[in-house]
Homo-oligomer: A and B are copies of this chain.
């Protein structure tokens, strides 16, 4: 995917949040982005550092995480092409968590000051960005529920459902087959489990005929059963939120 295509993906995503005019879209496009390609596992934001830029993910996958005092890692979200990576940090002074690439990624970054100016001159863009952060917060809340109150098999089933829907909604995957570029250790860090246990649960999901795995590709063989066991309801993804066109809500 070319850089301009990646940028269009971001614009499209924003436009789905609030009814942006063509002028609004152009204002986003004409921000003074600088483009880079990052290798897997590169840090985009480090906890404790001042935040000066906001990063857009044009291609690839990235994730947020924190490390506890005794060295355990918790992943708090996973991001895919087309998403703003850093509205969460951009208007605060110091980053309170790390953001790291999962795969090789093309990114565009823009000074947060430029974004602030844009948000003041284009209220609808500001509104779209705000709604985007609200939806991200909704996903954080669901993850609290996931790690706090579901058992291991539900947690993983829930995670797989969420990714399937988000990827499909973003046009990055088909209905029930997707490439999940996460190791089992990263899945463990997303669900508050150990890698060993994640492995056993994934096998169990396969044994029960809910999913099939081919390397890191996941195909969902029984949506209803997976949703059921994952206690999954897509409401928190707000896939219809504020958009100019209402899409058929999935799952």
Contacting pair B69 A231 (CB below 8 A): yes
Which among B91, B123, B150, B235 is the interface contact of A120 at CB below 8 angstroms?
A: B123
Q: Which residue of B lies closest to A141 (CB)?
A: B76
> Which B-chain residue is minimally distant from A138 (CB atoms)?
B96
Segment 102-152 of A: residues with Cβ below 8 Å from B = 116, 119-120, 123, 126-127, 130-131, 133-138, 140-145, 147-150
7 closest A-B pairs (Cβ-Cβ)?
A148-B192, A140-B140, A137-B137, A69-B231, A147-B148, A96-B236, A74-B145
Let me know if A64 and B141 touch, CB within 8 A: yes
A positions within 8 Å CB-CB of B: 47-48, 64, 66, 68-70, 72-74, 76, 87-88, 91-94, 96-97, 116, 119-120, 123, 126-127, 130-131, 133-138, 140-145, 147-150, 191-192, 231, 235-236, 238, 240-242
The count of identical subunits is 2
Cβ-defined partner of A241 (8 Å) among B69, B93, B150, B241: B93
Since A123-B126, A140-B144 are in contact, a sample of 19 more A-B pairs with Cβ atoms closer than 8 Å, ordered by chain A residue number, is A64-B141, A66-B142, A68-B149, A69-B231, A72-B149, A73-B149, A88-B134, A88-B138, A92-B135, A93-B240, A96-B142, A96-B236, A97-B141, A123-B123, A126-B130, A133-B133, A137-B137, A140-B140, A144-B147
Contact flag A68-B145 (CB < 8 Å), given A123-B120, A242-B93: yes
Whether the Cβ atoms of B145 and A76 lie closer than 8 Å is yes
14 CB < 8 A contacts A-B: A47-B235, A69-B231, A74-B144, A76-B145, A87-B134, A91-B242, A96-B138, A97-B141, A119-B127, A123-B126, A130-B133, A136-B137, A137-B137, A149-B192
Among B74, B135, B141, B145, contact of A149 (Cβ-Cβ < 8 Å): B74
Residues of B within 8 A of A142 (CB): 66, 96
Which residue of B is nearest A97, CB measured? B141
Q: Report which of B70, B76, B130 forms a contact with A144, defined as CB distance below 8 A.
A: B76
A64 surroundings in chain B (CB, below 8 A): 141
Do the beta carbons of B140 and A141 come within 8 Å of each other? yes
